[in-house]
């Protein structure tokens, strides 16, 4: 009888082990909790990051290697994305461009979060004249056309990838400042904040150790959903010639280079556009899943 019971329980035990193999890995567990949309977005982003990091290192073609005999070749096995007007392999350049575009996007996002959250935290907790000055400045910046403001700032300092990042940060921080200020005002009079004041904690400590950890959730979701918009803004400025300069590979610059050959070689614009589309799709799926997860937990 005992042997029969063990035989009947064995398949269920094996199935449980197969089902829970990733339960001990925090990253897999966190991603699995985001649902199908979140896992799809995470998978897309992972593939894009691996491609951006690995392909330029293992590709038989150099990023700036020109081959005049192979110029404007259509996609084939040797060149999956074809070649451009100088005979450069577009697959290798698209992968390297991902590294450039994603690095610029992450840098712009980090700077915008640092400035916006810092000023919003200061305005929301201090109040008074500081609150009025910071919020009026944010209102003025948010009232201006963002792309036009970015073009003006980039044109003043000259075309360069770092210039485009600075131009984008100059207006992107305002949204984070307003959201942070609103969240801070909602929690600054909560009992745990009053308790910290009662024991003599400094305003800096209260703002950073007590208030900030309670408002991170909505800010992280907003930042995740903003990655796609930031990527398209930076690529758009590079497309206009204000960002990365040749021969540096960048998706917006690759779109601009392929524009003159759109009728004869449409793949020159299709594949960089596809890379931008996939990145935006991945971050939007992941950001939406994060927002739904946080909304359900509140």
Residue 74 in domain? no
Residue 121 confidence (pLDDT): 92
- The average pLDDT across 172-177 equals 94
Residue 14 confidence (pLDDT): 44
Is 96 within 8 Å of 52 (Cβ atoms)?
yes
Is 190 within 8 Å of 159 (Cβ atoms)?
no
**pLDDT tops 80 at residue 186:** yes
Which distant-in-sequence residues (6+ apart) come within 8 Å of 71 by Cβ?
83, 84, 85, 86, 87
pLDDT tens profile 249-268: 999 999 999 998 988 899 99
How much of the chain exceeds pLDDT 90, in percent?
44
Residue 205 in domain? yes
Which range of residues forms the domain containing residue 223?
35-52+91-297
Which one is predicted more confidently, 249 or 148? 249
Of 204, 211, 203, residue with least CA distance to 186: 211
Q: How far is CA 136 from CA 79, 155, 181, 185, in A?
A: 53, 25, 12, 17
Number of folded domains that form the chain: 1
As beta bridge partners, residue 83 has 89
- The average pLDDT across 271-276 equals 95
Residue 84 in domain? no
Token digits for 170?
């100059």
**pLDDT tops 50 at residue 18:** no
Is 108 within 8 Å of 230 (Cβ atoms)?
yes
Q: State how far the Cα of 197 lies from the Cα of 200, in Å rounded to an integer.
A: 5
Residue 235 in domain? yes
Residue 287 confidence (pLDDT): 86
Residue 108 in domain? yes
Residue 280 confidence (pLDDT): 93
Among 3-7, 33-37, 66-70, 123-127, the range scoring the smallest mean pLDDT is: 3-7
Is 59 within 8 Å of 91 (Cβ atoms)?
yes
Residue 20 confidence (pLDDT): 45
Q: Provide Rg for the chain, Cα atoms.
A: 25
Residue 29 in domain? no
pTM of this structure: 0.84
Residue 119 confidence (pLDDT): 94
pLDDT tens profile 46-57: 999 999 999 888
Residue 66 in domain? no
Of 97, 122, 135, residue with least CA distance to 235: 97
Residue 153 binned pLDDT confidence (cut-offs 50, 70, 90): confident
Phi then psi for residue 83, to 5 deg, are: -130, 160
**pLDDT tops 50 at residue 76:** yes
Q: State how far the Cα of 289 lies from the Cα of 294, in Å rounded to an integer.
A: 9
Residue 59 in domain? no
pLDDT tens profile 280-294: 999 999 888 888 877
Which distant-in-sequence residues (6+ apart) come within 8 Å of 63 by Cβ?
56, 88, 92, 93, 96, 247, 249
3-state secondary structure 228-246: HHHHHHHHHHHHCCCCCCC
**pLDDT tops 60 at residue 2:** no
pLDDT tens profile 104-117: 999 999 999 999 99
Q: State how far the Cα of 19 lies from the Cα of 12, in Å rounded to an integer.
A: 10
Is 224 within 8 Å of 286 (Cβ atoms)?
yes
CATH number at residue 280: 1.10.3720.10
Token digits for 36?
């199908």
Which one is predicted more confidently, 231 or 201? 231
b/e map 52-91, b = 16+ CB within 10 Å: beebbeebebebeeeeeebeebeeeeebebbbbebbbbbb
Residue 4 binned pLDDT confidence (cut-offs 50, 70, 90): very low
One DSSP character per residue, 156-187 reads HH-S-HHHHHHHHHHHHHHHHHHHHHHHHHHH
Would you give the DSSP letter of residue 293?
Answer: H
How much of the chain exceeds pLDDT 70, in percent?
88
Q: What is the SS3 assignment for 298?
A: coil
**pLDDT tops 90 at residue 82:** yes
- The average pLDDT across 233-246 equals 88
Which one is predicted more confidently, 153 or 13? 153
């Amino acid at each position: 009888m005992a042997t029969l019971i063990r035989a009947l329980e064995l398949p269920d035990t094996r199935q449980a082990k197969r089902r829970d193999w990733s339960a001990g890995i925090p990253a897999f567990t966190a991603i699995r909790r985001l649902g199908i949309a979140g896992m799809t977005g995470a998978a897309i982003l992972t593939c894009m990051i691996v491609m951006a990091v690995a392909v330029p290192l293992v590709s038989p073609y150099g990023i700036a290697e020109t081959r005049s005999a192979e110029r404007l070749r259509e996609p084939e096995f040797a060149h999956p994305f074809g070649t451009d007007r100088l005979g450069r392999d577009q697959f290798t350049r698209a992968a390297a461009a991902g590294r450039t575009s994603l690095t610029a996007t992450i840098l712009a996002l980090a700077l915008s979060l640092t400035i916006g959250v810092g000023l919003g935290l200061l305005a929301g907790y201090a109040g008074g004249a500081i609150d009025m000055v910071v919020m009026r400045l944010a209102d003025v910046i948010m009232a201006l056309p963002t792309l036009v403001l970015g073009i003006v700032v980039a044109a003043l300092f000259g075309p360069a990838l770092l210039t485009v990042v600075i131009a984008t940060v100059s207006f992107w921080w305002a949204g984070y400042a307003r959201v942070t200020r609103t969240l801070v005002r909602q929690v600054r009079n909560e009992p745990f904040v009053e308790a910290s004041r009662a024991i003599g904690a400094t305003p800096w400590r209260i703002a950073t150790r007590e208030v900030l950890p309670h408002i991170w959730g909505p800010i992280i979701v907003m930042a995740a959903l903003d990655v796609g918009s930031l990527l398209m803004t930076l690529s758009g400025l590079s497309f206009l010639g204000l960002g990365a300069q040749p021969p540096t590979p960048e998706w917006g610059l690759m779109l601009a280079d392929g524009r003159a050959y759109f009728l004869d070689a449409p793949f020159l614009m299709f594949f960089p556009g596809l890379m931008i589309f996939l990145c935006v799709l991945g971050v939007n799926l992941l950001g939406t899943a994060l927002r739904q997860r946080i909304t359900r937990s509140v």
